[in-house]
A and B are shown apart, each in its own frame.
Chain A
Amino acid sequence: MASSNQVANDLVMDVRGLTKRFPVGGPRDKREVHAVQDATFSIPRQEIVTLVGESGSGKSTTARLIARLIEPTEGEILYNGVDILKNEKNASLSYRSDVQMVFQDPFGSLNPAHTVEYILERPLKIHKKTRGRKETRDRIYELLDTVGLGPAAEVAAKFPYELSGGQRQRVAFARALSVEPKVMLADEPVSMLDVSIRAGVLNLMKRLADEQGLSFLYITHDIASARYIADKTNVMYAGRMVESAESTELVEKPAHPYTKLLLSAVPNPHAGLRTREVHTRGEIPSLIDPPPGCPFAPRCPHVMPVCREVMPPPVTISPGHWVRCHLYDGEPLDSVGT
Chain B
Amino acid sequence: MTIANQQNVATPVAREDLLRIEHLKVEYLAGRGSVRAVDDVTFSVGKGEVIGLAGESGSGKSTIAQAILRILQPPAIITGGHVYFEGKDVLAMSDRQLRDFRWEGVSMVFQSAMNSLSPVATIGMQIVDGIQAHRKVSDSEARRMAAELLEIVGIEGNRIDSYPHQLSGGMRQRAVIAIALALQPPLMIMDEPTTALDVVVQREILAKITELKEQFGFSILFITHDMSLLVEISDRIAIMYAGEIIEMAPSRELFEHPLHPYTQGLMESFPALTGPRRKLEGIPGSPPDLISPPSGCRFHPRCPKRFGPCDSVRTKLVEVRPGHLVACHLYAEEFASAIQRDAPRSEVADGQ
List residues of chain B with CB within 8 A of the CB of A275: 206-207, 210, 232-233
Q: How far is the CB of B152 from chain A (nearest CB, A)?
A: 15
Alpha-carbon distance A224/B272, docked complex (angstroms) = 6
Contact assessment for B281 and A194 in the assembled complex, using a CB-CB cutoff below 8 Å: no
Stretch at the interface among A178-186, A261-269, A303-311: A261-269
Contact assessment for A148 and B351 in the assembled complex, using a CB-CB cutoff below 8 Å: yes
Q: Judge if B287 is at the interface, Cβ distance under 8 Å.
A: yes
Alpha-carbon distance A54/B229, docked complex (angstroms) = 18
Alpha-carbon distance A225/B270, docked complex (angstroms) = 8
List residues of chain B with CB within 8 A of the CB of A262: 199-200
Q: Judge if B283 is at the interface, Cβ distance under 8 Å.
A: yes
Contact assessment for A195 and B202 in the assembled complex, using a CB-CB cutoff below 8 Å: no
Contact assessment for B204 and A221 in the assembled complex, using a CB-CB cutoff below 8 Å: no
Q: How far is the CB of B1 from chain A (nearest CB, A)?
A: 30
Alpha-carbon distance A164/B351, docked complex (angstroms) = 10
Alpha-carbon distance A108/B168, docked complex (angstroms) = 25
Contact assessment for B271 and A225 in the assembled complex, using a CB-CB cutoff below 8 Å: yes
The one of A164, A197, A266 in contact with B199, judged by C-beta atoms closer than 8 angstroms, is A266
Contact assessment for A265 and B200 in the assembled complex, using a CB-CB cutoff below 8 Å: yes
- Using CB atoms and an 8 Å cutoff, list the residues of chain B in contact with chain A: 56-57, 168-171, 198-204, 206-207, 210, 225-229, 231-233, 255, 265-266, 268-275, 277, 279-284, 286-287, 350-352
Alpha-carbon distance A274/B206, docked complex (angstroms) = 10
Alpha-carbon distance A114/B270, docked complex (angstroms) = 34
Q: Beyond A195-B270, A265-B202, is A200–B227 a contact (Cβ under 8 Å)?
A: no
Number of A-B contacts (CB under 8 A): 132
Contact assessment for B226 and A203 in the assembled complex, using a CB-CB cutoff below 8 Å: no
List residues of chain B with CB within 8 A of the CB of A170: 351-352
Contact assessment for A196 and B283 in the assembled complex, using a CB-CB cutoff below 8 Å: yes
Q: Judge if A283 is at the interface, Cβ distance under 8 Å.
A: yes
Residue of B nearest to A223 (CB): B273
Q: Beyond A164-B287, A202-B280, is A55–B228 a contact (Cβ under 8 Å)?
A: no
Main secondary structure on chain B at its contact with chain A? Answer: loop
Q: How far is the CB of B145 from chain A (nearest CB, A)?
A: 24
Contact assessment for B286 and A166 in the assembled complex, using a CB-CB cutoff below 8 Å: yes
Contact assessment for A201 and B232 in the assembled complex, using a CB-CB cutoff below 8 Å: no
Alpha-carbon distance A169/B47, docked complex (angstroms) = 43
- Using CB atoms and an 8 Å cutoff, list the residues of chain A in contact with chain B: 54-55, 148-150, 155, 164-167, 170, 194-203, 221-225, 227-228, 248, 251-252, 261-270, 273-276, 278, 281, 283-284
Told that A54-B198, A195-B266, A228-B280 touch, could you supply 5 new A-B pairs with CB distance under 8 A? A55-B169, A262-B200, A267-B202, A267-B228, A281-B204
List residues of chain B with CB within 8 A of the CB of A278: 203-204, 207
Residue of A nearest to B198 (CB): A54
Residue of A nearest to B206 (CB): A275
List residues of chain B with CB within 8 A of the CB of A225: 271
Alpha-carbon distance A16/B228, docked complex (angstroms) = 37
Contact assessment for A197 and B352 in the assembled complex, using a CB-CB cutoff below 8 Å: yes
Q: How far is the CB of B215 from chain A (nearest CB, A)?
A: 14
Contact assessment for B273 and A199 in the assembled complex, using a CB-CB cutoff below 8 Å: no
Contact assessment for B282 and A203 in the assembled complex, using a CB-CB cutoff below 8 Å: yes
Contact assessment for A165 and B207 in the assembled complex, using a CB-CB cutoff below 8 Å: no
Residue of B nearest to A252 (CB): B274
Closest 7 CB pairs of A and B: A199-B282, A228-B271, A199-B280, A54-B198, A269-B231, A196-B283, A166-B352
